[in-house]
Structure 1
């Protein structure tokens, strides 16, 4: 099934911090866009005559907010984030892909559970959506948030988080962790790492660590530290959900990457929307790069192997991937690949795209 595209009109813009803005959008006329808490929206602005795509987690709640919204933080050297923050205005229309992503939660009023959210920087965005979605629906569930920021003025959603904490005082607790706070800050001055994560869970929240569900979103190092900490207490992989963010620094690294010497030019077949396309993939190209070069409009979003928008299935031949974190082990065993980071390593490769 092909991805859907929409043109959404900006309804409101809120300055969250000096370098972060929330953009809310009107739903299309006669159609409400459905999504799950934690999913992302891919924006497709045209910059200097070229369409570019970036994925931004939605900070809105599908069951609480009338409009869908993304929150965008400026990134040094970030082409798209900076362009959107500087140029997108109320009333402007922008092309988007339908919401996607597997970092989701579906609130269930019959559930009574403990959910712990760990966020760093702009990683708060999907966690905000999750908290706002779960708290009104699961009236017996407790939600805890550990949120790491640089300093007080960089705390995204500070006012909203305070309001949620007041509204759900017996079921929602927020712990702000600042790495470079002002001298008047009386909270934690540290980073979220393996040792501090244990302290937060045992001393500040006093929860049964082994029984909670965990949602992590932020810098890769932070998530690795938290995962290592909670696994000490017997937390299993299926209790841990992670969202990997793709930054402008990753983008630059991709652009600077040398041509892979071990790869050879291969001719592959792509089955998409009822057609068979023959595509020549050069050594330095991914399967997605080669398809787009041939004007085959395959679905894609982050181009970093994280979002799964470009997922296909290798039904013949062999393929290698630069990055596998976006897929589950079971999906990889079944032959699923992400075309944006995939290279054919044998002749006769056939890729099936739903």
Structure 2
């Protein structure tokens, strides 16, 4: 749960007294669009000082649900170059706190507290780029893809997009009409291939699970621009992304050409996590951590059964966070020194891990010299 509790502690040392923390905004809801039976898009008015963001990033929405503060990350479906307002898509999840509270309570004129846009599931756009974006999406995983596709079609006139979009049935396709319009407007540059688990009798497209055989057939149908000019992006259910990644690895696609965004913590084929041996002792013990964020430096002691983020919040330090599961990367920082163990590494790429990036929401210090810089 993304709950944050705040209290002061004598163990916390502040270098300066100036308050620091994530940048928050109170946004007014302009419109609520019913995309499907269980999915809505919330369109926010841009404030007087416009919020800048990159295609593929997300907003963290904050609300009080059942007397507790809840934070959830929702990808922006709007494009910074084609849309004047900000828009996120929310799909109801059985038992989900925020995903059910928002459709039931938010309406035009409502004010919602959000954290500044974050996320690294994005790419640099240039008018001189000439590339092929191959995007794999499942269900609500289409949200960041919509932002990226709209931006690519405008910002890169020589680039094309091929979208493979899997859904349960025809009524659950989010943005179906919008994609139909975009395909007509950008004929030859946007190709959308729908895949339905349960297809109607007159369905002319692909049906069934997006498995290895179906993926192979689909990839044979789309233009081949060569490895050097093709970028692969995926966002959706874990099983779908696992199938896509396995196929791309079999085709020897370099890891730097593959980008993915996870909405849920992975459970398939997880390697057993080995606990690093504690340094300087036979058992787990507390370690001091230094965090540098927004021009300030904080020092606090993290107990063995607590994460760095949990301890910071308990000490009244308002660090950025959202999912608290190691997926959204809102809490990402760079370990400048020391050893940090992560309970979950799904949100970080191999190159990010090699550069020393860590996630404070699932991070535990293993030495006393841990220094983390955020932002």
Q: TM-score, normalised by structure 1?
A: 0.89
Aligned positions of 1:278-289 closer than 5 A: 278-289=299-310
Comparing 129-138 with 4-13, which one deviates more in the overlay? 129-138
Does the alignment pair 1:269 with 2:289? yes
Q: Quote the residue 2:111 is aligned against.
A: 93
Does the alignment pair 1:73 with 2:81? no
Comparing 54-63 with 102-111, which one deviates more in the overlay? 102-111
Separation in structure 2 between the aligned mates of residue 103 and residue 315 of structure 1, nearest angstrom: 23
- Offset, 1:317: 3.5
Comparing 221-230 with 69-78, which one deviates more in the overlay? 221-230
Q: Quote the residue 1:55 is aligned against.
A: 73
Q: Quote the residue 2:257 is aligned against.
A: 239
**Alignment partner of 1:18 out of 21, 33, 37:** 37
Separation in structure 2 between the aligned mates of residue 333 and residue 10 of structure 1, nearest angstrom: 41
- Offset, 1:2: 4.9
Q: Quote the residue 2:365 is aligned against.
A: 344
- Offset, 1:316: 4.2
Q: Quote the residue 1:302 is aligned against.
A: 323
**Alignment partner of 1:34 out of 52, 60, 64:** 52
- Ranges in structure 2 where 5+ consecutive residues have no aligned partner: 1-19, 268-277
Comparing 37-46 with 186-195, which one deviates more in the overlay? 186-195
Q: Quote the residue 2:275 is aligned against.
A: none
- Offset, 1:278: 4.2
Does the alignment pair 1:164 with 2:182? yes
Does the alignment pair 1:333 with 2:348? no
Does the alignment pair 1:320 with 2:341? yes
**Alignment partner of 1:207 out of 224, 228, 240:** 224
Q: Quote the residue 2:132 is aligned against.
A: 114
Separation in structure 2 between the aligned mates of residue 205 and residue 314 of structure 1, nearest angstrom: 41
Q: Quote the residue 2:313 is aligned against.
A: 292
Comparing 339-348 with 110-119, which one deviates more in the overlay? 339-348
- Offset, 1:315: 3.9
Q: 1:306 to 1:184 in 2, by over 3 A?
A: same
Ranked by relative contact order (alpha carbons within 8 Å, sequence separation 6 or more), the top structure is 2
Separation in structure 1 between the aligned mates of residue 298 and residue 127 of structure 2, nearest angstrom: 47
Q: 1:112 to 1:317 in 2, by over 3 A?
A: closer
* SS in structure 1 of the partner of residue 312 of structure 2: helix
Cα displacement string for residues 271-321 of structure 1 (whole angstroms, at most 9, x for unaligned residues)? 345555443433332111111112211111221212222123334442200
* SS in structure 1 of the partner of residue 313 of structure 2: helix
Separation in structure 1 between the aligned mates of residue 204 and residue 352 of structure 2, nearest angstrom: 46
Does the alignment pair 1:140 with 2:158? yes
Contact 1:7 1:95 in 2 (8 A): yes
Contact 2:289 2:365 in 1 (8 A): no
**Alignment partner of 2:332 out of 291, 300, 311:** 311
Q: 1:206 to 1:87 in 2, by over 3 A?
A: same
* SS in structure 1 of the partner of residue 246 of structure 2: helix
Contact 1:270 1:353 in 2 (8 A): no
Q: Quote the residue 1:259 is aligned against.
A: none
Separation in structure 2 between the aligned mates of residue 224 and residue 344 of structure 1, nearest angstrom: 30
Aligned residue pairs, count: 342
* SS in structure 2 of the partner of residue 53 of structure 1: strand
* SS in structure 1 of the partner of residue 164 of structure 2: strand
- Ranges in structure 1 where 5+ consecutive residues have no aligned partner: 251-261
- Offset, 1:352: 3.8
Comparing 204-213 with 176-185, which one deviates more in the overlay? 204-213
Cα displacement string for residues 11-70 of structure 1 (whole angstroms, at most 9, x for unaligned residues)? 1110000000000101112x1111111111111112123221111110011100111100
Q: Quote the residue 2:15 is aligned against.
A: none
**Alignment partner of 1:184 out of 185, 189, 202:** 202
